[in-house]
Amino acid sequence: MRTAEISRKTKETDIQIRLDLDGSGKVSIDTGIGFLNHMMTAFAVHSGIDLSVVCRGDLEVDGHHSVEDIGIVLGKAVSQALGDKAGIMRYGSAFIPMDEALAFCSLDISGRPFLVFNAQFSDQRIGEFDTCLCEEFFRAFAFNSGITMHIREEYGKNDHHICEAIFKAAAHAFKAAIKTNDDGSVLSTKGVL
């Protein structure tokens, strides 16, 4: 059972996340930020996991704590659900277009967290979501899941399209990487991830 359930409460956010990596894209997302709900839903549906997220954060400040802390808790939940990481394909890469925008993500479930993020947004916000928080989300996710992630905007004009293409590219790369291999082996010359 590759599942996890994590609650985390600080003075800034109160978050509960449940996930099942072998689910079927069943989602229930309530982050308090409309566009982030849209992105988390896209991530779950396109990676084929079941995901439930509830966040009550200090949105009277701004969305920063909520977005970053959801990335932290989601990363920890993924790490917990993957366990010793035996029997997974480990690598995944995807190009995803959305109208005029094209995004790329390549990732390695390596136990070595890293984020390379190359994307530029033309506006500060998409709805109530600060575009600079896209990178913050993926950094928090990568460092708490132990995943090496490379994310790149190839090109695009509309920020909604660029951001959505990024989340969907991450989802498709993640889906490929968490897929189980046939023999349950650890794909590493070291024998351990």
Binding site for Mn ion (CB under 5 A): 164
**108/128 Cα distance (integer angstroms):** 31
Smallest distance, Mn ion to C-beta of residue 146, A: 29
Residue for token pair 């993924």:
78
In contact, 70 and 31? CB cutoff 8 Å: yes
Position of minimal CB gap to Mn ion: 164
Smallest distance, Mn ion to C-beta of residue 38, A: 6
Which residue, 69 or 164, is less far from Mn ion as judged by CB?
164
Which residue, 38 or 76, is less far from Mn ion as judged by CB?
38
Which residue, 109 or 166, is less far from Mn ion as judged by CB?
166
Which residue, 81 or 169, is less far from Mn ion as judged by CB?
169
Smallest distance, Mn ion to C-beta of residue 87, A: 34
User: Phi and psi dihedrals of 105, rounded to 5?
Assistant: -140, 135
Smallest distance, Mn ion to C-beta of residue 185, A: 39
Mapping DSSP to helix (H, G, I), strand (E, B) and coil, where does residue 167 land? Answer: helix
Which runs of E-coded beta strand occur in 58-140? 91-98, 101-108, 114-118, 125-126, 129-130
DSSP H or E stretch at residue 133: helix 133-145
